Structure 1
Amino acid sequence: MFMNKQLWLTVMLLVSLFLFGCNKEKVVTSDPGGSDEQKEDITLTIMMWDDWGQGFDANIKEVVEEQFPHITVKNIGGDTGNKDWIEEALTAGNVPDLIFAHRQYHVNLLEEYELNYDMTELLEKHAFDLSRYDPAHLDEWRSWANGELWLLPFMADRYALHYNKDIFDLFGVEYPTDGMTWKEVITLASQVTGERNGVQYQGLDITGNGHLPMTQIIGKTQLIDPETDEVLWTKSPYVKQWLEMVESVYNMPGNEKPEGDAWTESRTLAMRPLWLDMGTPEDLNFDIVTFPQWEDAPNVGPLAGGWGLGITEPSQHKDEAMEVMKFLYSDEHIGFLGESPIHAPFKHLFEEKDIDGMLVGERLEKFKGKNLQALYKLEAAGGPESRSEFDVGAFQQIERLGQDFIESGQDVNTFIRELTEKEEIRIKDEKGAS
């Protein structure tokens, strides 16, 4: 039986009044994706290093809470590289939604404590634009996470060949230029090595960053075979080539490894390939060019490295955390997360741009007017599709390679043979401890 018209109108009026009452109490906010929906008040916790958290309030907490009124951001502090601290934090119930970490040194901890989470599908769901990255940079981070994206870098390490103009002027030699190879730099170093006015000058020092040239050439290779645990990296022809290059540099007459800090103190060092050196004195007459390249790997720099944030597996607020990451990683905000704005990972922010305007703060003033475009001309070294769990220890060996070789006093072949034996023992010991 159909209801009569008057009764039908009465029912519809009551329904309308009910819906109006509900909507009147509904809190509507606009999310960055463009849809309007009710937002539940939540707290997002971030596990960051204490010393990296100095700008947390201004650069993360305040801007996020202003953009997302329903979100409160909390830094649970601590040391993300300290296994004991992570265990204590988790035991106390301080489970982070986002974790701040370094690629190779922290990924094992993420996996050990079941914090690792592949963000690939979530990035796609929230239309996160990964094309802004150098693809090789992301490949590097994926290589430490079983081919997944557990962490997304918010900064990149920037490298350059630093040179002291005064020393080149003293020797009457032309300055270095962008695009030079290691062989060309070593040849140039021989021309600015020697004694002038009773002072001995060294042309080049490379052991302070002995792993960087190695990462340029073996960045895409596996260090330890993931299936057999065989030591691979010491058998690479490039290891021998690098050590022979180190040997040639310090066998150059007058270019023995300098005592103390010859770059900032005695100022007797002509060239120094390194991360952008924040410790360079303001009154030093210096400039930079591109990091030297291997002839077999043109236009390739060292590993891009840096630091990143990742959403954790146990987080109950993954979508909200991703929207926060998307906001913080926008072109507008990304420069405030890392060591400095010029360490942001997106090259389009710098190519053919006036970088001097980004140099804010005492540590960066000294770089105004320098050839900062050199920092963005090379591609990152990248990484293999997968890595052994023992690669982290291998990477630690690579970091000390040049210094250990010089201090050993051994010939190249003997050093490599003993290094391989030490690596095999290390892997055996780590297996026994696990």
Structure 2
Amino acid sequence: MKGSMIASYAALLLLGISVTGCSGNTGEQSLMADKSADTAKPGGERSGKQPSTEPVTLRVNNWNTAFQQAEFDQYFAEPLRKKYPFLTLEYLDQQKGTSNTLDNLITAGNTPDIVFTDYPNLAGLLDYDYPEDLNRYVQDFSIDLKKVDPLVIEGAKTIGSKGELFALPVYSDRMMWFYNKDLFDKFGVPYPTDDMTWDDAIAAFKRLSRMEDGVQYASFRMINLPMTGSQWGVPLVDPKTGKASFQTDDWKKSLALMQQIAAIPGNTKLTNEDFYQKETLASLMQSFNIMVNLLEGVERKGHKIDWDVASLPQSKEKPGIAGANKPLYFMVSKSSKHKDQAFAAVSYLMASEEVQTTLSRNGKMSVLIDDGIVKQFGTKLDILKGRNVAAVYKHKMSALPYSNRFNRLALVEMIAAGNEVLNGTQDMNTALRNAEEKANKAIDAKIK
């Protein structure tokens, strides 16, 4: 593989992760697992279980993501209908009425066949006893997971305790550094590069945050403490104990970084709108897909800003790692009456080169290890023309942090602890200790 667009995959090889090469077959054929000669069909096709052709509607709940129905139809429902005309995906958006929330659907006996969510929320589905272990289906349908990014597959396995595969990834997203070129120009600060450290960035932030003509300009917005730590794979719960673990050096370093940035005048109480509407925020940390969608929406309304994107700064202690991985997954319900069809649907969306190429062209990171697909990243979006989209693949991403069914309980307390420290109402050690105690008290209550 050549070029910065595929540098992250080359880095995986340096880490000793074995990946297989790409083929020129169609997606579903090229991802058939290698079988012995007696399972091969004439013409080189591989055998594998096929779903029943009985017409079935599979109900899909969007659980805590910013994904919209128009995107769902474009990238998932319509391609699946072309492959399997007898399978229909019905989108249940929890943002449109409380009847579509997962809690209410399960309570009413209408558990959806599939849930669509991102990694930070993935383990939370275990608390509902929702997901089916997909290992058997992978074997039955002859799906070759070696063609899929091992980081995101490992994330799906991490949440299980006995080697279960509770989800299949469909695409990835990552946290990036978006910046307003006009504000950098206004204050004579060089644009961000893809190889800066946080120390480099903070030096630039101090030059960008200032009061000018009665307007307070801010330099950088972070999101929260868990998101800051996730770029280095710092877990909220200890994989050995399964309990919240906040009083670690990694969490303290993550919080100290946020303190440094928040101490710069103007760098508190910021929103995305300060960047793309008010244009008083010079730069921010945000997921690539979310920010590009927001900027597209702003442009459709006639407001354009001169922006670009760079890799997030790196820690001096962990060079070469920049930007947290935020993959999105499908889970199949263990109570679904159509498990085979549901698996066929989600495995096709993961494995199809056609589907994954469409996602890549539209700025969504393919989960397939395929340099041809990677090179097409973002090519269909006019808004990305002339932008530094190569930054998305420039550096490695850390392994996804360990997570279990109590992750959401820990997440709430960690966010609160970070806010207390940044607001100056609590010192770091006290805030982390108290938050850990609260999280573990909530976890103990769940266990009982």
* TM norm structure 1: 0.75
Contact 1:212 1:302 in 2 (8 A): no
2: CA distance, partners of 1:38 / 1:246:
50
Cα separation, partners in 2 of 1:390 and 1:293, compared to 1, 3 Å:
same
2: CA distance, partners of 1:270 / 1:324:
42
**Displacement of 1:76 after TM fit?**
7.0
Which of 144, 167, 181 is residue 151 of structure 1 equivalent to? Answer: 167
**Displacement of 1:189 after TM fit?**
1.1
Percentage of matched positions with identical amino acids = 21
Cα separation, partners in 2 of 1:258 and 1:77, compared to 1, 3 Å:
closer
Pairing of 1:13-412 with structure 2 (within 5 A): 33=46, 40-43=53-56, 45-49=58-62, 52-54=68-70, 59-69=75-85, 71-75=86-90, 77=92, 79=94, 82-90=102-110, 96=113, 98-105=114-121, 107-110=123-126, 112-113=128-129, 115-146=130-161, 147-206=163-222, 208-219=223-234, 221=235, 223-224=237-238, 227=241, 230-232=243-245, 234-252=246-264, 254-257=265-268, 261-276=273-288, 277=291, 278-280=293-295, 281-282=298-299, 283-315=304-336, 317-329=338-350, 330-334=352-356, 341-346=363-368, 348=370, 353-359=375-381, 365-383=382-400, 387-399=403-415, 401-412=417-428
**Displacement of 1:149 after TM fit?**
1.6
Count of residues paired in the alignment: 386
Deviation larger for 287-296 or 375-384: 375-384
2: CA distance, partners of 1:273 / 1:337:
22
2: CA distance, partners of 1:100 / 1:294:
32
Structure 2 unmatched runs, 5+? 1-42, 95-99
Contact 2:50 2:141 in 1 (8 A): no
Q: Deviations over 1:56-100 (max 9, x none)?
A: 55554454344335x34252736475212123134xxx662x443
Cα separation, partners in 2 of 1:406 and 1:415, compared to 1, 3 Å:
same
Letter in 1 for 2:309: I
Letter in 1 for 2:356: I
2: CA distance, partners of 1:108 / 1:351:
31
Contact 1:211 1:400 in 2 (8 A): no
**Displacement of 1:238 after TM fit?**
1.6
Q: Deviations over 1:123-182 (max 9, x none)?
A: 244332323433222222222233422111112123211111112212222111002222
1: CA distance, partners of 2:50 / 2:410:
50
Cα separation, partners in 2 of 1:421 and 1:53, compared to 1, 3 Å:
same
1: CA distance, partners of 2:414 / 2:249:
14
Secondary structure of 1:217 counterpart:
coil
Secondary structure of 1:366 counterpart:
helix
1: CA distance, partners of 2:270 / 2:80:
48
Cα separation, partners in 2 of 1:195 and 1:379, compared to 1, 3 Å:
same
Letter in 1 for 2:61: M
2: CA distance, partners of 1:297 / 1:36:
44
* TM norm structure 2: 0.73
Deviation larger for 269-278 or 121-130: 121-130
- Which residue in the other structure is 1:13 paired with? none
Q: Deviations over 1:43-64 (max 9, x none)?
A: 2523333974445555544543
1: CA distance, partners of 2:334 / 2:437:
38
1: CA distance, partners of 2:93 / 2:315:
40
Deviation larger for 348-357 or 234-243: 348-357
1: CA distance, partners of 2:49 / 2:229:
51
2: CA distance, partners of 1:370 / 1:328:
28
Cα separation, partners in 2 of 1:150 and 1:194, compared to 1, 3 Å:
same
Secondary structure of 1:138 counterpart:
helix
Deviation larger for 406-415 or 151-160: 406-415
**Displacement of 1:108 after TM fit?**
4.3
2: CA distance, partners of 1:368 / 1:179:
22
Secondary structure of 1:374 counterpart:
helix
2: CA distance, partners of 1:34 / 1:372:
39
Structure 1 unmatched runs, 5+? 1-29, 360-364
Deviation larger for 190-199 or 48-57: 48-57
Cα separation, partners in 2 of 1:343 and 1:414, compared to 1, 3 Å:
same
Pair member with larger Rg:
1
Secondary structure of 2:285 counterpart:
strand
